[in-house]
Amino acid sequence: MAAVSEEGRLEQHTTRPYAEVSKGYSYFERGDLLIAKITPCFENGKATLTEHLSEQTGFGSTEFHVLRPGPKLDAKYLFYLLWNERFRQSAAKGMTGSAGQKRVPVDLLRRTEIRLPLLEEQRRIAAILERADALRQKRKRAIALLDSLTQSIFLEMFGDPLHNPKIIRARPVRDVCTLLNGAAFKPSDWKEDGHPIIRIQNLNDSSKPFNRTTRTLNPRLWIRPGDYLFSWSGTPGTSFGCFKWQGPEGWLNQHIFKVGLVDDVLGSLFLHQMNIRMHELIAKAHGGVGLQHVTKGMIEEVEFLCPSIDDQRRFADAVEKVDTVNAMHHASLAQIEALFASLQHRAFSGQL
């Protein structure tokens, strides 16, 4: 499951002897579509085409549904149809099982009716969506490069926090912040209107659709732009980490901590230092297939570098310059995301 990204890509695969995978794995063939069946992987968009595999056959997690397009169905058309947010939100309502282990039943997919234009028309639609998706991915890569630039600035100024070569005063995270966990929401809490629920999938991309609620919670769980959040549950490499919230005001969902900082630690320092140290926490994470988590205690034990407030301000100034450029890229990404969503809606409603 970890090899499939929430951006619809197969990030990696390994080659193993047939005897090791012939049992306990899902069989598929090159060109098949894999789509996660378990929560939250399904809702987060873990799905991929396998058209670029080097081998004709493969094996994957049993938590994947395997779909093989027939002769009248284009694989990319099917991928974009099932990967889009509208379908995922609709299908999530039909999940079965207990909390934390809900799955999309295969019968739900079998019963799903899809618009099926002629094959050439399907390919035309898929090609348009693929080009729009490529624009999204390029913008996201640019944002990722800017994020790595900020990490480089941190390492240049303060050194690797794990080894602390500049002998900067260190304190455990529990001494520099408070961590307040979000609230648990059930599908019955979701409403058409109301306030946004800030979930893990919104942290990396606040342009993604929000579930909404009319519930009133502890005011401390109300999130505003500029608040610092720490996702302690999710998929390593994607949804784990520390974030400065840039989206709308709303209620904080479970699996995310709201970070309250002490007076002598600036948010920029906390954000980027904790993300540099995420690999340490991920190495200690535990949990099930595609969903792992760290505890509040694990986070609080991290040794946090606390340079002088003047050095923190110099770092914050450098980060602000990078953030200015980053904000322009995020604004552009939001426009591209809106275009992509519009194209998907038009494509699968016969308007494209």
The domain that holds 77 is classified in CATH as: 3.90.220.20
Please state, in angstroms and as integers, the Cα–Cα distance from residue 272 to each residue in 160, 282, 318, 323, following that order: 12, 16, 12, 12
Same domain membership, residue 277 and residue 341:
no
Do residues 182 and 102 share a domain? no
Distance between CA atoms of 91 and 108, rounded to whole angstroms? 8
Separation CA 186–CA 190 (nearest Å)? 7
> Domain with 145 in it: what CATH number?
1.10.287.1120
Judge if 297 and 318 occupy the same domain. no
Cα–Cα distance measured from residue 171 to residue 304, given in angstroms and rounded to the nearest whole number = 5
Side-chain half-sphere CA neighbours of 327 within 13 A: 10
Residues 23 and 4 in one domain: yes
Does residue 293 share a domain with residue 184? yes
Per-residue confidence in pLDDT tens, the chain, 352 aa: 888 888 888 888 888 888 888 888 999 999 999 999 998 889 888 999 999 888 899 999 999 999 999 999 999 999 999 998 889 988 988 999 887 688 999 999 999 998 899 999 999 999 999 999 999 999 989 988 988 899 999 999 999 998 999 999 999 999 999 999 999 988 888 888 899 999 988 887 776 778 899 988 899 999 999 999 999 876 655 667 899 998 899 999 988 999 999 988 999 999 999 999 888 888 887 765 556 788 899 999 999 999 999 999 999 999 999 989 988 998 898 899 889 989 998 988 888 8
d(CA 37, CA 46): 9
51 residue type, one letter: E
Report the residue count for the chain. 352
Radius of gyration, CA atoms only, the chain:
22
Q: Specify whether the CB–CB gap between 293 and 231 falls below 8 A.
A: no
Instruction: State the total domains in the chain.
Output: 3
How many C-beta atoms lie closer than 10 Å to residue 120's C-beta?
Answer: 9
Both 339 and 245 in one domain: the answer is no
Structural domain of residue 83, as residue ranges? 1-113
pLDDT of residue 237: 57
Task: Return the closest-CA partner of residue 146 out of 338, 345, 326, 267.
Answer: 326
Q: 328, 238, 272, 245: which is closest to 149 by C-alpha?
A: 272
H-only helix segments in 93-216: 106-111, 119-158, 173-176, 200-203
pLDDT at 29: 94
Residue where the block lists tokens 């800017």: 146
SS3 state of residue 29: strand
In one-letter notation, the amino acid at residue 187 is: P
Do 218 and 337 belong to one domain?
no
25 and 51 in a single domain? The answer is yes
The answer to whether 171 and 303 are in contact (CB under 8 A) is yes
Q: Are residues 275 and 318 in the same domain?
A: no
Tokens of 226: 């500029």
Alpha-carbon distance 336 to 209, whole Å? 14
The C-alpha atoms of residue 37 and residue 297 are separated, in whole angstroms, by 31
129 closest CA partner among 194, 188, 81: 81
Do 59 and 133 share a domain, yes or no? Answer: no
Compute φ and ψ for 65, nearest 5 degrees: -85, 140
In this structure, the answer to whether residues 39 and 155 fall within a common structural domain is: no
Tell whether 119 and 102 lie within a shared domain. Answer: no
